[in-house]
Amino acid sequence: MTGLPKEHMEQDGFVLPYGDHQNDGLVQVSFTLPVKDGPLGDEAARQVMRSMALKEPQVVESTPLGEGYTFFVGYGKLTRPVELAKLKVARPLWDKLEPQAIERTIRERLGREIVVVGAATGSDAHTVGLDAILNYKGFAGDHGLEAYSGFKVVNMGSQVPNEALVQRALEVKADAVLVSQVVTQGNVHLSNLTNLVELIEAEGFRDRVVLVAGGPRITHALAIELGYDAGFGPGTKPQDVASYLAQEVSKRKSLYSNRAF
């Protein structure tokens, strides 16, 4: 939808990026091209921005990144607004609780510890995010699940085969399984995430475990699409995950109250 008067866009539910003033559509972009730094490279960068539908593209910085590669920073204007009323958002269905409320929810609604097993699976060796959520220390002043009396945490670390994770979840009668995965640009790790779901379903306890995926490119919508119950991406804090698990596991209490695996 183009040509809509900017003064009417916000009140009609249409938005453009904010740069210098309301709805001017100004955005900053950055990218690397396999070209030498110079006039030809700058023009290639401007053409890339035009292909992004950016008007009035400007290259404001170009930095050589070794032979034949250049990093560009540019500005341009978007002219096609987004209509908010047409957006469909996969909204997480839980409320963020304070730590005391999390403990109270588990104690009053479940009456026992929530058993959580977490791992970075397959070839994934990145555990910073997983440890931040599970370990007592947490991050940014937000303690991990180990700090709560209502959680029993089993952190299996990195490069854990899906089969080993499933077996461990069965052994400890896990209420929740947390999978940390750095999905590459080629999406090669998505098959590993779906394989875990298939293994849990094959063992017959999918309906009795809360399955959560997390990572820098994980979204709630992607996790749902892959068969998980929830997805947590960048910016997630331990309190977010603790709040979700306290409410979701309690809600499913009737499904596996005997925890007969």
Q: Which residues are marked as active site?
A: 137
How far, in Å, CA of 127 to CA of 139, rounded?
Answer: 13
Cα(178)–Cα(99) distance, rounded to whole angstroms?
20
Structural tokens at position 36: 């030498």
CA distance 251 to 18: 41
Cα 168 to Cα 28, 202, 250, 253, distances in angstroms:
46, 15, 22, 21
The residue with tokens 């370990």 is 135
Side-chain half-sphere exposure of 96, counting CA atoms within 13 A: 5
CB proximity list for 141: less than 8 A, separation 6 or greater: none
The packing angle between helices 162-171 and 190-203, to 10°, is 40
**H or E element at residue 119:** strand 114-120
Residue with the two structure tokens 């890339």: 48
**DSSP codes, 9-49:** HTTTTEE---SSSTT--EEEEEEEESS-SSHHHHHHHHHHH
Alpha carbon distance 210, 230 (integer Å) = 8
What is the tally of helices (H) and strands (E) in the chain? 8, 10
Where would I find the H helices in 52-116?
A: 99-105
